[in-house]
Amino acid sequence: MENIYVDNAGTTPMASEVIDVMDEMMKNVFGNASAVNAFGRKARQVLDNSRHIIAQSINAQNDNEIIFTSGGTESDNTAIIKTALKRQKQGRHLITTAIEHEAVLKPMEYLESLGFEVTYLPVDQNGLISLNDLKAALREDTILVSVMSGNNEVGSHQPIHEIGEIVAESNAWFHTDSVQAYGILDVDVQKDHIDLLSTSAHKLNGPKFLGFLYERNGLNLGPYLRGGDQELKRRAGTENIPAIAGFAKAVEIAQAHKHEWQKQDMTLKLHLLAGLKEAGIDFEVNGKCNEDELPQIVNIWFKGCPNDALLTNLDLSGIAAAAGSACTAGSLEPSHVLLAMYGDSPRVHESLRFSFGRYNTEAEIKKVVEVTAKAVKRLKEKAGR
């Protein structure tokens, strides 16, 4: 049985080039980057070079605006909780959206338990916030606005530039969770007035358990994890040099092929939708499906077909898709993203996410269409629909 992976929004396979770099580092650059001996200096050079590559990828003004973390979750928690605690004398109001990743929503809930007030902006059926809603929600005591760049379930791409301009005119700082967008879309923290930005390496064919937080010069959040003086005293813990070097390689590859892969992903998405339509499947796309959205993600409502049963059928046939975020896949709760977009609609329980990556082919998508169409028809016949 051929196994086909179309769950790249959950994680991506590591690129062979990244594996080669990490293998070389593990063999030959094992020193502690904080050590003053020759082994430490060699590790420090790799760390500095990697930081420079990544800083340039988002147009950071200074390499030291990049803080390496364990991934998107730590970066989001650091940006949100540290901002709130640092700026609470200036205000205790934060703004986010109803469709953020749990790594943003859970810290917001935590801050609410400490007495902070959070406004959750609604979204329309395309998964987009209203800029007028944002303007109306901003107050003198608003200290942070956190809006994700691209949604991990439906692929909606928020108007980050316009949001940044609005927030820049206020007292608030602007944070964006760019875990799904980074490496796929162009990111420019200067042009978009971004103060804090979170990423994760494993979403762009890099290693797991690694990411970075961009922190604009002058914010001075201080460490979230306390201990040693690593990362210029902003994040304690010995730096994972092999993984950081691998991350930098993944970023270099993504920067070189980003626009090529955007077109490839959009082509695969359109082939999937066209194939399902040709097969006579009754479906709708959740959100929009155009070049304004993340090209690698499509979320489809298979009308009258329970997503848990369909997902199981696909898995047994060798197709790896998803019913929502991989981080909440073990939960029986419906997708909070689809609930925010459509309310308590049948599509909340009848939708699957397909997400593409650099290693997917048109032949694979043809097979996905074939297997999915058969599974949908079989399940609907069983249900007498």
* Residue range 109-131, pLDDT digits in tens: 999 999 999 999 999 999 999 99
**Separate counts of helices (H) and strands (E) for the chain:** 11, 12
Verify that 49 and 181 share a domain, yes or no: yes
Q: What is the DSSP letter of 21?
A: H
CATH number of the domain that 276 lies in? 3.90.1150.10
Q: Are residues 204 and 281 in the same domain?
A: no
Distance of CA 384 to CAs 287, 305, 361, 379, Å? Answer: 28, 11, 35, 9
196 and 90 assigned to the same domain: yes
Q: How far apart are CA 76 and CA 176, in angstroms?
A: 9
Residues 225 and 296 reside in one and the same domain: no
- Percent of the chain past pLDDT 90, that is, above it, reads 94
Distances in whole angstroms, Cα of residue 378 to Cα of each of 162, 311, 323, 372? 46, 13, 19, 10
Sign of the CA dihedral running 152, 247, 177, 328: positive
Q: Is 300 helix (H, G, I), strand (E, B) or coil?
A: strand
pTM of the model: 0.96
Place of tokens 């489809």: 300
- Of the three residues 191, 226, 252, the one that is the final residue of a domain is 252
Q: What is the identity of the amino acid at 52?
A: H
- Domain that residue 298 falls in: 4-12+257-382
Residues of the chain with pLDDT > 70: what percent? 98
**pLDDT single digits (tens) 71-119:** 999 999 999 999 999 999 999 999 999 999 999 999 999 999 999 999 9
Catalytic: which of 326, 327, 339, 373?
327
- Residue that is last in its domain, among 252, 283, 300: 252
Give the CA count within 13 Å in the CB-facing half-sphere of 99: 28
Q: Please report where in the chains the tokens 């996905």 appear, as a residue.
A: 368
Whether residue 142 sits in one domain with residue 41: yes
Q: Are residues 245 and 182 in the same domain?
A: yes
Written as six digits, the tokens of 302 are: 């298979």
Whole-number Å distance between alpha carbons of 351 and 92: 37
327 assigned to active site: yes
Q: Tell me: the pLDDT tens digits for 345-374? A: 999 999 999 999 999 999 999 999 999 999
What confidence tens digit (pLDDT) does each residue in 296-337 have? 999 999 999 999 999 999 999 999 999 976 555 455 579 999
CB neighbourhood size of 288 (10 A):
16
Sign of CA dihedral 72, 73, 79, 80: positive
Joined tokens for residue 193: 């007035």
Tally the domains of the chain.
Answer: 2
> Each residue of 133-162: b (16+ CB within 10 Å) or e?
ebeebbeeebbbbbbbbbbbbbbbbbbbee
- The answer to whether residues 84 and 150 belong to one domain is yes
Instruction: Give the Cα separation of 167 and 175 in Å (integer).
Output: 10
CATH number at residue 184: 3.40.640.10
Q: DSSP letter for 213, please.
A: E
pLDDT for position 385: 61
Does the pLDDT of residue 32 top 80, yes or no?
yes
Return the DSSP state at 94: E
